[in-house]
Structure 1
Amino acid sequence: MIYIHWAFLVVYTFVVVAAMIKVLMDNRQPAKTMAWVLVLSFMPIVGIILYFFLGQNTRKERMISQRSLDQLTKRSMLEFAEQRDLRLPKSYRALIKLFTNQSLSLPFKDNEVDICTDGYQFFLSLLRDIGTAEHHIHLDTYIIEDDPLGNLIADVLIDKARQGVEVRLVYDDMGCWKTRNRFFERMREGGVDTRSFMPVKFLSFFSSKVNYRNHRKLCIIDGRVGYIGGMNIALRYVKGDKMPWRDTHLRIVGGAVYAIQKAFLIDWYFVDRTLITDHAYYPEPDSRIDNNCLAQIVTSSPVQPWPDIMQGYVRILLEARRYVYMETPYFLPTEPILFAMRTAALAGVDVRLMIPMRTDAKLVEWASISYVMETLEAGVKVYLYQAGFNHSKMLVSDDFLCSCGSSNIDFRSFENNFESNAFFYDSALALRMKKVFLDDLQQCVPIEKVQRLMRRPFLLRLWESIIRLLSPLL
């Protein structure tokens, strides 16, 4: 038995040393490298488990070949090249170039946008558009629940599939862990081509891949109408059990739909290994739409070379001249985001952050408060939304730039998840998004007026600081 003990110790030591070498060779920020070396050194067993789940650097992995990516991107590039009179705003050319260079997130003009600020607007609009589909329906969602609303969407998709419409659905396997398999089997039997993103089986549960999820919420109908935003398919958006859910989702008609289509088809190739590049999925644009409402659909993931959406947020904050207003349900910012927010506020920019008074995750709420207090010290104005749970993820700046999508302002969205955001460069749309923010502001209270947060006892502040250490995991 003593030999088994020593054999285990030798094997464990070898694994820990190999993990440390891997951490060093990743050339991460020194603080992160030191943190993982300390975890591996002083947390026996637990440290190596945490590393395998959460510590491995996936940005150098190639989950889709460059040749396949080029083929999937080629069609949207052709549609981009055919645009006439494309004018890029001078003050945002560097940001547009940043997104274009990093992940070929091309700018498209001629867009009309409807802003949905509650579930009734979004789902009625979505059902209407699905009902008119003649060629294809592509749906990419983090969560679709087995509830009355989820079953209504499933019934409509099955009905369209039986009419001969191509229907493809990508759902995240972890996001839908509460949804029973028979829900998806019913859709498959009804003709809906259904795939789960990174299925979590027993063995794959014990790997780092379980930490990387597809958080995108996209829908494309006939290549002409696209949806992007923060809403999943769940009844809580129209009937909250404990509190109403407030969220923002966009319906887009115009050039940006090509980019949403590209994002979906890359995800589809990832889950199905089928290249879909036919021109039928990129129909001619509606000639009646003629404006310079410019849009970029920006995707980010843990396997892309750079955290695109996070870098975009940093640049927006640092280049803003008058204001930046942001809404997020979870606020666990990475150091670059925290630095940019503090720098902008100290430079006199009106930086406002809206978060929920209560979240659906108590650990996140505890971890978030220490970050909030840091931004307050620099002059960021923080507001707590009281009229339910605000799940909206949006940004508006200087009456010209706005964004909406699936990315929270937290480690998980910026570093671990597959996300998608729409960035618009248009004064009229930015003013509409600003009005959404100001309307939400009427349901808020400044954090300084919440005494229970401003006068927290020492032990609670200590607990929050301890939980903050888990921020990258939450």
Structure 2
Amino acid sequence: MDYHSPYFFGYLIGALHLLGAIAAMHAVLTVRTAQGAIAWALSLLFIPYFTLIPYLVFGSRTFDAYIQARRQANREMHVAMADLNWRPWVDEALAARNSESYGALRAMPRLGRMPCLANNQVRLLIDGKATFDAIFAAIEQARDTVLVQFFIIHDDKLGRTLQALLLKKAAEGVNIYVLYDRVGSHALPASYSQKLRDGGVNIRAFATRRGWFNRFQVNFRNHRKIVVVDGVQGFLGGHNVGDEYLGEKPRLSPWRDTHVQVSGPVLACLQESFAEDWFWAARKLPPLILPDTYPEDGVLCQVLASGPADPQETCSLFFVEAIHSARERLWITSPYFIPDEAVAAALRLAVFRGVDVRILLPSRADHRIVYAASSLYAFEAVRAGVRMFRYGPGFLHQKVVLIDNEISAIGSANLDNRSFRLNFEVMLLTVDRAFADQVEAMLIHDFDQAREISAEDSQDTHRLQLLGMRIARLISPIL
């Protein structure tokens, strides 16, 4: 064939438009929002040369292959759980219904796949040192099984400390399972994993490109951070494994983040979330541990595991439900602020109801495009009456929600489209006045170190900066 012939280029252009038309039909049938379907369909029909590859990477909003794997994992877990004492799930779920505060979140029992359980103990871990001191101390005491999951693991001082500890426990006969996200940990050298593997540690990467139909899919990320030790101690929150989380990266230090330590029946839910992800990566289940007895008192907790394999947009709906449930106060901290229309409307309605709505964002950027888009959304929120703040001392990475006087949520989910629809996330919802008071004291200290964004800030922003913010907002659905 003459590749310089005009007929060849005609055939090539025709083939691209045919593929574009097929992809446009796929977008109309699968993209969840009408705006997204229209945007993809029109661009695929008229300029497929520029949009076919981006659609392959960014177009999908449901992770169908993971859905099938989760169903199989759940079937195998049900068999494994037949030999375990699973009564606390039922008994404590009944106790959770007696909470008036939890009752305000009327959609939560059906929105979350896991029940709200009583008799848990929770501990707030503020910043990296407290978090990793607690995690390492728990792993040091492990006797049976340790489950470790992070979005990012770096081969730096903190990463090697974790590696050495896991190798030590594996040598003692403890079962160690480590799961990291392949995209988030793209800089992790193969030698890091191989050393753990050689030492008896089960380590896997969570990769969304498994199988032919997923080979172009790099847009879904497993953003969860979970550690469970012997089924009795658990940790989740915003920290990953890297020196910057200890404040040792000058450009972003001091790093501000929050984790939570939890024990009690709700650890069964954390193990279930880890097991589903591990099954996707390894096609087999890790050990599941449930103690025979639990304390007779404690706080109500619910694990909310969300992701693109859910039948609905669980994370976005959680934020909408949390905002609508607030009667007096709604404080949120997030490193990124790219709300969808439902969340933005819920925030405006909360302001109209007289709720004290405050959102704390970082004043330093780790991703400049995301920061630009967040800034424009922040200006719009201020005009709607939402009080927006910029944290001053360093980079703010914590993900915390405080509702009224008893309800708090801490985990990995950001207030942005990626967490709403593209990432696998996990949050711990806690219903307890004493713990909420601790979260309130922590956030008051954070707000005291922040500057409030005013309406004049938008007016003082240079036109070129505003143009850049608007361009950043155009691509915000995939940020």
Q: TM-score, normalised by structure 2?
A: 0.92
Q: State the AA in 2 paired with 1:465.
A: R
CA deviation string 1:355-375 (max 9, x = no partner): 001121111111111111111
Tell whether 2:57 aligns with 1:53.
yes
| Counterpart contact for 1:402–1:425, Cα < 8 Å | yes
CA deviation string 1:306-361 (max 9, x = no partner): 12122111011112110100000011112211111111112211110000011211
Q: Distance in 1 between matches of 2:335 and 2:188?
A: 23
Q: Distance in 2 between matches of 1:29 and 1:200?
A: 24
Aligned position for 1:469? 474
In structure 2, the gaps of 5 or more residues are none
Q: Using the TM superposition, give the Cα deviation of residue 446 of structure 1 relative to its aligned residue in structure 2, in angstroms.
A: 0.6
Q: Distance in 2 between matches of 1:193 and 1:277?
A: 12
Give the secondary structure class of the aligned counterpart of 1:251: strand
Aligned position for 1:216? 224
Aligned position for 1:232? 240
Q: Using the TM superposition, give the Cα deviation of residue 65 of structure 1 relative to its aligned residue in structure 2, in angstroms.
A: 4.9
Give the secondary structure class of the aligned counterpart of 2:95: coil
Q: State the AA in 2 paired with 1:341.
A: L
CA deviation string 1:247-286 (max 9, x = no partner): 00001111211111111111111111113465xx112244
| Counterpart contact for 1:327–1:355, Cα < 8 Å | yes
| Counterpart contact for 1:359–1:365, Cα < 8 Å | yes
Q: State the AA in 2 paired with 1:356.
A: P
After alignment, is 182-191 or 37-46 more displaced?
37-46
Residue pairs, 1:141-160, within 5 angstroms:
141-160=150-169
Aligned position for 1:83? 92
Tell whether 2:131 aligns with 1:122.
yes
Q: Using the TM superposition, give the Cα deviation of residue 84 of structure 1 relative to its aligned residue in structure 2, in angstroms.
A: 8.4
Q: State the AA in 2 paired with 1:418.
A: F
Give the secondary structure class of the aligned counterpart of 1:294: strand
CA deviation string 1:205-250 (max 9, x = no partner): 961x211010000000000000010000111122233221110000
Residue pairs, 1:393-472, within 5 angstroms:
393-448=399-454, 454-472=459-477
CA deviation string 1:281-317 (max 9, x = no partner): 1122443x513x1111011111111121221110111
- How many residues are aligned here? 467
Q: TM-score, normalised by structure 1?
A: 0.93
CA deviation string 1:182-208 (max 9, x = no partner): 01111111111000001669999961x
Q: Using the TM superposition, give the Cα deviation of residue 3 of structure 1 relative to its aligned residue in structure 2, in angstroms.
A: 2.8
Q: Distance in 1 between matches of 2:437 and 2:460?
A: 36
Tell whether 2:334 aligns with 1:328.
yes
Q: Distance in 2 between matches of 1:322 and 1:114?
A: 25
Q: State the AA in 1 paired with 2:16.
A: Y
| Counterpart contact for 2:145–2:287, Cα < 8 Å | no
Q: Distance in 2 between matches of 1:335 and 1:285?
A: 45
Q: Distance in 2 between matches of 1:142 and 1:27?
A: 26
Q: Using the TM superposition, give the Cα deviation of residue 67 of structure 1 relative to its aligned residue in structure 2, in angstroms.
A: 4.5
| Counterpart contact for 1:72–1:276, Cα < 8 Å | no
CA 1:65/1:259 → structure 2, altered by over 3 Å: closer, same or farther?
A: closer
Q: Distance in 1 between matches of 2:215 and 2:10?
A: 25
CA deviation string 1:35-77 (max 9, x = no partner): 1123224444221122111112325553425353244267496
Q: Distance in 2 between matches of 1:312 and 1:299?
A: 11
CA 1:370/1:148 → structure 2, altered by over 3 Å: closer, same or farther?
A: same
Aligned position for 1:369? 375
Q: State the AA in 1 paired with 2:149.
A: D
| Counterpart contact for 2:255–2:396, Cα < 8 Å | yes
Aligned position for 1:290? 297
| Counterpart contact for 1:255–1:285, Cα < 8 Å | no
Aligned position for 1:195? 204
After alignment, is 378-387 or 196-205 more displaced?
196-205
Q: Distance in 1 between matches of 2:42 and 2:55?
A: 11
Q: Distance in 1 between matches of 2:86 and 2:32?
A: 33
After alignment, is 52-61 or 395-404 more displaced?
52-61
Q: Using the TM superposition, give the Cα deviation of residue 122 of structure 1 relative to its aligned residue in structure 2, in angstroms.
A: 0.7
Q: Distance in 2 between matches of 1:330 and 1:116?
A: 21
Give the secondary structure class of the aligned counterpart of 1:439: helix
Aligned position for 2:44? 40
Q: State the AA in 1 paired with 2:225.
A: K
Aligned position for 2:74? 69
Q: Distance in 1 between matches of 2:104 and 2:43?
A: 39
Q: Distance in 2 between matches of 1:362 and 1:205?
A: 29
Q: State the AA in 2 paired with 1:271.
A: A
Q: Using the TM superposition, give the Cα deviation of residue 113 of structure 1 relative to its aligned residue in structure 2, in angstroms.
A: 1.1
| Counterpart contact for 1:53–1:206, Cα < 8 Å | no
Q: State the AA in 2 paired with 1:72.
A: M
Question: Which residue of 177, 185, 209 corresponds with 1:168?
Answer: 177
Aligned position for 1:132? 141
Identity percentage over the alignment? 29
Question: Which residue of 23, 26, 37 corresponds with 1:22?
Answer: 26
Q: Distance in 2 between matches of 1:339 and 1:229?
A: 27
CA deviation string 1:141-166 (max 9, x = no partner): 00111001100100000100010000
Give the secondary structure class of the aligned counterpart of 2:235: strand
